[in-house]
Amino acid sequence: MKNHLVNLLLEAYKLSELERKLAAMGIDASHAFGSFDIAEIVFDIIGFPEDNTLEYSWKPIAGIDDGEKEYRIVNGQKVELRDEDENLFARDWLNDKLFEVFTDENNRKITINEDGYFLNDIDLEKVKANLSEFVDWLYNELEEWKNEKK
């Protein structure tokens, strides 16, 4: 299973690199790549709860108590946002860690062409190794989270 998750994340990495390269050429392809998030699928497969932060009011968390309730429109319905409780789950730290893996300069190998220019090529084996470590980290984080919930 781990190998499949690493390969899924590797495809996400390739897509992010393609989007970055297109952006460097002045082509905005974010609309083409933004419709799905492979990392969220991997988090689901591993067993993390869904991020439910949109269901919560951040006023109490930020120390704001103005006595007014917050609402969000969900499927055309006005829904009152909840105050923080034990069911709040944010996936931000998982995405932050993945961003670090994706932007790690060690994922690149330096080569010199005949003109003496340095080219930064992607070292896919290094990326795969980093993603493998990331998947291990995810499983450890899930276990730690479960132990905290007990």
70 secondary structure, DSSP code: -
Q: In b/e form, how buried is each residue of 79-106, taking b as 16+ CB within 10 angstroms?
A: eeeeeeeeeeeebeebeeebeebbeeee
- Give me the pLDDT at residue 117, please: 52
- pLDDT classification of 48: cutoffs 50, 70, 90: very high
- Give me the pLDDT at residue 118, please: 54
Output the CA angle 147-101-32, nearest 5 degrees. 110
What mean pLDDT, rounded, does the chain reach? 82
Torsion over CA: 90, 50, 85, 76 (sign): positive
Q: What are phi and psi of 3, to 5 degrees?
A: -60, -40
Q: Give 73-128 pLDDT, tens digit per residue.
A: 777 888 777 777 777 788 999 999 999 998 887 777 666 666 665 546 778 888 99
Per the structure block, which two tokens stand in for 15? Answer: 């897509």
What would the DSSP string read from start to end of 18-56?
Answer: HHHHHHHTT---HHHHTT--HHHHHHHHHTPPPP-GGGB
Which of the pair, 35 or 28, is modelled with greater confidence?
Answer: 28
Which of the pair, 105 or 27, is modelled with greater confidence?
Answer: 27
Hunting for tokens 């009152």 — which residue is that? 80
Question: Is the pTM value of this prediction over 0.85?
Answer: no
Output the CA angle 86-88-93, nearest 5 degrees. 120
